[in-house]
Chain A
Amino acid sequence: AQSVTQLDSQVPVFEEAPVELRCNYSSSVSVYLFWYVQYPNQGLQLLLKYLSGSTLVKGINGFEAEFNKSQTSFHLRKPSVHISDTAEYFCAVSDDKGYQKVTFGTGTKLQVIP
């Protein structure tokens, strides 16, 4: 069984400031890792994913995440946030095989302050 912990339920940050959203996971097998974003009243959209290879993964909208196996973490970062980044962000994990169910964290609400 796998689990995902997002310790920060809400993160306020000023516009143009950097942000890091933390994610830790637990699994007895090798994993794939994902970050999804959910804008208000919209569906989930994939930001980025780690399947294999380079541990630094770049996604859409200027976001990136780094897979750290020893710390079982997959933190999401952006060097300069915009108002439009205000949304809820979900970290997720699956077994490292295709077509697996995804286990989500409880989400982090990013509030960008003008």
Chain B
Amino acid sequence: KQEVTQIPAALSVPEGENLVLNCSFTDSAIYNLQWFRQDPGKGLTSLLLIQSSQREQTSGRLNASLDKSSGRSTLYIAASQPGDSATYLCAAGGGADGLTFGKGTHLIIQP
């Protein structure tokens, strides 16, 4: 059974810093890995999707990498802003099997 772990559970950094969120998964037989953002009381916003054959994806200040062999993914946020404050969820799996989510990293960017 797939297990997804996210480290750290919480992170607070000053505005402008670059930061890395980590995600590990136990079963490398995945279709894709996705990073989501969850704002309090709201649904999920898909940030980046990395197919199993890819190594990274970039969108604006966000860059996500995938190393299937080691069961790891990282989300890199450049030049953080207060509006980046949210919970970031990593999810592995995809296809008809759905996704297994980590518990998330609660990120606070201090103005």
Q: Do A and B bind each other?
A: no
Give me the interface of A with B, judged by CB distance under 8 Å.
Answer: none
